[in-house]
């Protein structure tokens, strides 16, 4: 049986849970994690939308996207470890793409670590293509920072 995913907008009451989910997902990578305050400030910015993916009424994933004029950027995407490899990220990313397109964006951009094969495979499979590189973009705990790849998906 496959999981039944529900996507809901992230509201003010969801910020603590969303921050916990971000931390659970990104701390193992050694990346900076987002506090409740970080998320609150982010979703207050113009054009920023947070989405939560729920399974059986519980948060399993989150995505934050910003649309400005005809361009959109995926600011974060994460799925809780216990819910991975069941299509949750693919479902969430599809919702982000639909949202960005509906909001009038012609292209969706994102950055991904060169050392993050799971996310790179996900983005490749959705049609994103590399368009640039950011040197030493990602903190990696005690280790050296990782380069980021900028990727772009044409929406229309």
Ligand X SMILES: CC(C)(COP(=O)(O)OP(=O)(O)OC[C@H]1O[C@@H](n2cnc3c(N)ncnc32)[C@H](O)[C@@H]1OP(=O)(O)O)[C@@H](O)C(=O)NCCC(=O)NCCS
Footprint of ligand X on this chain (CB under 6 A)?
25-26, 77-79, 84-90, 112, 116-119, 121-122, 125
Which C-beta is closer to ligand X: that of 25 or that of 49?
A: 25
**Smallest distance, ligand X to C-beta of residue 101, A:** 20
Which C-beta is closer to ligand X: that of 79 or that of 108?
A: 79
CA angle 76, 85, 47 (to 5 degrees): 20
**Smallest distance, ligand X to C-beta of residue 63, A:** 9
Order the strands of the 129-140 sheet from edge to edge. 5-9, 48-55, 58-68, 71-79, 107-113, 143-154, 129-140
Which C-beta is closer to ligand X: that of 104 or that of 117?
A: 117
Which C-beta is closer to ligand X: that of 85 or that of 135?
A: 85
> How many whole angstroms separate alpha carbon 70 and alpha carbon 101?
9
Beta-strand runs (E) in 26-142: 48-55, 58-68, 71-79, 107-113, 129-140
**Smallest distance, ligand X to C-beta of residue 140, A:** 12
**Smallest distance, ligand X to C-beta of residue 81, A:** 8
């Amino acid at each position: 049986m496959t999981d039944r995913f529900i996507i809901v907008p992230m509201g003010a009451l969801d910020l603590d849970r969303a921050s916990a989910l971000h931390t659970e997902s990104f701390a193992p990578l050694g990346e900076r994690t987002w506090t409740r305050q970080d998320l609150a400030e982010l979703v207050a910015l113009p054009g920023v939308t947070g989405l939560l993916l729920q399974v059986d009424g519980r948060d399993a994933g989150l995505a934050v996207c910003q649309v400005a004029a005809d361009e959109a950027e995926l600011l974060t995407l994460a799925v809780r470890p216990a819910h991975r490899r069941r299509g949750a990220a693919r479902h969430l990313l599809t919702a982000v793409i639909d949202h960005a397109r509906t909001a009038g964006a012609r292209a969706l951009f994102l950055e991904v670590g060169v050392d993050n094969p799971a996310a790179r495979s996900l983005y490749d499979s959705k049609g994103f293509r590399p368009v640039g590189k950011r040197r030493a973009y990602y903190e990696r705990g005690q280790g050296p920072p990782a380069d980021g790849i900028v990727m772009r998906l044409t929406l229309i």
